[in-house]
Structure 1
Amino acid sequence: MSEEKNFWTTLPGIITGLAAVVTAVTGLVVALNGAGVFSKPTGGNKAPAKKDIVVKKDADSLPGKQAEQQTVVKKVKPVFALTAVKIEDHDYKILGSSLEAITPETNLLKIKINYKNNSNYSPATFWNEGFRLSIDGSLTAPSGDLSELVARHAEQVGTITFEVPNSVKDIALHILDVEKDISIPIKLVTN
């Protein structure tokens, strides 16, 4: 006489039962974690606790105190003494420039240049190594990432960027080309 076994008492039945229990417990843990039971809530729209409240006093409301004066930021425009330079087979034309504040002490000077390679023989590099900025007599390398190869009888537009301190008195763009150094003075004009 054959005795029929209950499915749940066989090895496949036990494994299936354990898998169901593990799945149920995992789902419960995920649901409780999502509800925030196992961790602190991360901000959201909760009301701040008393220790989080910061009271700021207005300087004008304090007796004998004056509010600090706000610094007026002047807009400065770079103006180049020359906007076009030809050195042997290479033409450089300054298309535009801007001076943008990046920190309270430093600005970013962006110079947009059209470079034309008139060579009959080979491509030429149009890159950061071809430019320097004289800042109060010290040469500074560009901070941007210009690096292009321009085919012969072709042209390319690129932007050279330099970090310039607010305290600058005298600046000039240097174009370093075929053992020549052409200096273009830049005047900073307040708008």
Structure 2
Amino acid sequence: MAEEKPTNWWATLPGLLTAAAAVITAVTGLLLGLGQLGVFDAGQPAASTASASGTASPGASAGTVQPGAGASSSGSGSGTGNGAEWKVTLPTERTYRAADVEYEILSASARPDVSGKIALTLTLRCTNHGRYDLNFWDSTFRLNVGGVSYSPDPGLNELVAGDSSKSGDVRFTVPADIREALLRIKFAEGESSARLAVSPP
């Protein structure tokens, strides 16, 4: 009886498929490795760099230009004074007190508002010389401009504890032709007033 020769493993279908898969995997790995080393891009480094810088440049440009554009838009939209801050002159006497409540005008600023009016902001310090909490809020203040009394924009509503102080901003939106105004401070026992001068930039 003749001996059967063992079938060569490479000659079987599974063997061929396995060998093909191994070759494809090896070639793919080689190509990926060469690609990461930059072998295929060696002929065009300048184009690659230009492309990268071209992509980054618009982003950087947009980041730089956008705030400027926004500021310019805000300035033109705000109307008078082109968005520049106006000068506000405060009175010599800036502290006003009645009983245990005292208000001090710390600073003032004015600039055109988006509505074409002027936003006049006063920073005040409220000092409570009493023992109990005191309400420091917008309703205490009024601004007289050209014979018209304006209430402040909502926003300030704080409690000041006894024997302590707290600062806050009071903002009025008034006509753009304002040149002087009278700040009225209302106390339980009456009211005090402070005259302000406003001039465009």
TM range (shorter): 0.5 to 0.7
Q: Does 1:113 align with 2:115?
A: no
Q: What is the rounded CA distance, in whole Å, between the counterparts of 1:145 and 1:115 in structure 2?
A: 15
Output the amino acid matched with 2:150.
T
8 Å CA contact 2:135–2:157 kept in 1: the answer is: yes
Q: Is the 8 A contact 2:140 2:185 kept in 1?
A: yes
Higher helix share: 2
Contact 2:141–2:152 under 8 Å retained in 1:
yes
Deviations 1:101-157 (A, max 9, x none): 11363011111111100013x211100110011111111110131001111101111
- The whole-number CA distance in structure 2 between the counterparts of 1:72 and 1:100 is 8
Q: Displacement, 1:170?
A: 3.4
Q: Does 1:172 align with 2:182?
A: yes
Q: 1:99 and 2:114 equivalent?
A: no
Matched ranges for 1:1-191 at <5 A: 73=82, 75-81=85-91, 82-103=93-114, 105-120=116-131, 122-191=132-201
TM-score, length-normalised on structure 2?
0.55
Q: TM-score scaled to structure 1, two decimals?
A: 0.58
Q: Residue type of the partner of 2:118? A: N
Shift of 1:179: 3.4
Distance 1:190 1:166, change over 3 A: closer
Give the structure with the higher percent strand: 1
- 1:161-190 Cα offsets, whole Å, 9 max, x none, are 000111124311110111311111101145
Q: What amino acid is the match of 2:193?
A: S
8 A Cα contact 2:103 2:127, kept in partner? yes
- Change beyond 3 A, Cα 1:172–1:144: same
Q: What is the rounded CA distance, in whole Å, between the counterparts of 2:153 and 2:115 in structure 1?
A: 18
Match of 1:47 in 2: none
Q: Is the 8 A contact 1:114 1:156 kept in 2?
A: yes
CA distance in 2, matches of 1:77, 1:169: 10
Q: Structure 1 regions of 5+ residues with no counterpart?
A: 1-70
**Structure 2: tracts of 5 or more residues without a match:** 1-79
Computed over aligned residues only, the root mean square deviation of the Cα atoms, in angstroms, reads 2.1
Identity of matched residues, %: 24
- CA displacement 1:52-80 (0-9 Å, x = unmatched): xxxxxxxxxxxxxxxxxxx8647421112
Contact map agreement 1:137 1:170 (CA 8 A) in 2: no
Aligned residues: 121
